[in-house]
Structure 1
Amino acid sequence: MSANTYYRVTAKRRSKDKAAVTVNTDKPDTHFSLESILAPLSVSEFFRDYYGKKFIHIQGEPGKFPDVMDFDSFARLLNMTSIWSAHSLEVVLDRARVDPRAYSVSAPNRDGQDVLKPDPDKVMDFLRQGASLVANDVDALTAGAAGIANALEQGLNVKTQGNLYYSWKQRQAFASHFDTHDVFAVHLVGEKNWRIYENRVPSPIRHDAFSVSAEFQEKNRGPVAAEITMRPGDLLYLPRGQYHDALASSEGTIHIAFSATGVIGLDFLAAMSDMVVGSEKYRLNFPRLEDGQDALKKHIEMLSAEFAKIATSQDFLDRFTQFQRDFHYKRGGIQIPAVGKDPLYERLVHDAQVARFQNGFGLYRGNNVTPIPPGFEKPVAWMLSRRTFTLGEMAEAFPGETPHSLNELLVQVRRMGLVDHAKKA
């Protein structure tokens, strides 16, 4: 098969006249996994044949995505007017975003600052004209949406953010375009026709280099590779760079597009920029112009060798592994009344030690050293001396430090890959 073949996985097809499942946003949690989201396609098949490679439409039953969103729950959220701004709630008409000033008024937000906030009467005027709504960052607003976002992050090691799209009257909200992140489109209400085009931009990212005009995208999208009708329970996966557009085909449709942004080479460079600070070679001045290009080349070669040495060190590998573990958003976690035990942490390494460094103390691993903020050398050494510990135990050991400062220190040490949450037995 060619790379542009239309792929589809089908579950038992349901009657078209079945309504979408009604949700209850009062439920505290809805469990999803990457397996349940992709079913009946297996996770191994998805990674082998599709992830980062080509699109796939997975048909499902209407009840596949419970507690995510329907008309009633979306209306309830929209009418919580204090949570919306012209940035988080957008109006789109005939493939163009409406100027926020046309549907908003200046009003105080929850922090008391004057911002543009959607005016319900003005929004309704646009909706009656066939406008679409885009509700950004809804991935924590219902139990189901949070469950899907958390499952995608855990299963893919990505950051996920969900935008809801409400369309009707067979109007196309956006022109043909590609996204700079993978898309998992979860269809919840109504029917929507998608067109997937043959062409794909290789690995685009959110950068000016990939900010192109609508005319450019329409010219470069290529011929239609597939036309797909999405119904409640369906999932559409689009790798980043895949050209597509969509058109509502029923009186009202809702889908949530979950973006998936992974760790890339630029994240590695950013992490290395923090690591090389500990190397004196990276703090030296470059040769003067009068020294000529031979001196410049020699200096760059010295930095390149040092770069490779640090990048392949166990210290950096541990830190970057922890960076990948922490590469996700936090949703929820607050329980009223407070319940649960103080989380247990465990030491991950045995070759790190605290010792004198310049006028203070540093954390040494091999030839790498990281300065320790003044006064925190003892808490760091304490953590590295324990097999397991809790934040409460550390607070008892260092009563002169505030719980906030110790927690911030623990966050930094976790990011360095030295400790982490203890694995369950």
Structure 2
Amino acid sequence: MSKPTSSRRVAVTGLGVVSPFGGSLQDFFDRLMQGESAVRLYRHPTSPSLLEQVAVHCSAFDPVEALGRPLAGMTDRYAQLGLAAAFAAWDDAGLARTGAGSERYGVSWGTGVGGTLTFEQGYTDFYVQGKDRASPLSVVMAMNNAAASHIAIQLGLGAACLTYSVACSSSSVSIGEALRRIQSGESDLVVAGGSEAPLSFSVMRAWEAMRVVAPGTEETAYRACRPFQAKRAGLVLGEGGAALILEEWDHAVARGARIYAELAGYGQSCDHSHLVRPSVAGQARALSFALDEAGLAPADVGYVNAHGTATREGDPAEIEALRVMFGEHASQLAVSATKSMHGHTLGAAGALEALITVKALHSGNIPPTAHLDEVAQDCEGVAHVRSGLYGQPLRAALSSSFAFGGSNAVLAFKAAH
């Protein structure tokens, strides 16, 4: 990947999240800093006797309260989570909802499975309830670009409205491609992020069948996801939405916006080797591309929010890629995997973790990997964060997403100055 020649810098001016903890963005981050886990034993609402699995559910989220009844009634849950996150980021950036329309503002969104709950409802209607027709809204609710389209409609954004579906790196790619659009001069502002609501019977059973989902009971569920742990047992599915307002730097300064951080680099690569087995070389390439574009040396980076799914093959490959890329600095590199607390939100994971990375960089506070009692031998070599670190002098931080299909995406953020 060649380094872009554009001199247009990109600022992060707004952050919005719908999380399993409910409450505000700051509350979400504070609870992560405390190592609090939102993982619980989840019983499928329509099939509780057939499906019990540890998962992360945004139980406090009320779409009608957040969006109003008409909009909530015509959207799948994944789009509802995305809309709420985008609205929160927009407000956080100090942008007016009324008269927001602009031909220079756009949307860049990510999702892995899209409107899976709408599909599930359709199957239930036909094969369980015996209904003879589908809802006329089924297609527009289930389509993967529904969230992005509704965000553009509600906020009046007339530039490109694009959706990326690249498995678990979907929303990292959406943020990286938004960077490209602003650098090229195509847009001045992009609402970038992702959302996912994968807690459908079919999706949860499919992941369980791959034997990569961590087991747990009512009592043990909260610590089921243990990235980099010697006794890690697999990932935990979760739902949520996160959005970043990305803005051309001078545009942000001109309107007096608060700037959280600079999105300075984006690295994307393909393993081209195996559909589900990660490649150290592929991940290292993405890390290298991101650092190169951002103009960062390994020693400039103080924190990495790792992909960290707590799988047997994924965790050691990621740590080895960091050792390859960072060399001697790896042993001083603070690394944490916040999926241990908010679960793996699939296509929304990159945006959620990018938001956490920006908050860490802006505040100087680094959240931990929860439940990391004993680091596995194949995951040693970096400075694992086992409890929240406060007051860190961070100059730059990375957020990494490594997906099935071998799609790797790394975002590089610099402290605002």
TM-score scaled to structure 1, two decimals?
A: 0.24
Name whichever structure is richer in strand by fraction. 1
Higher relative contact order (CA 8 A, sep 6+): 2
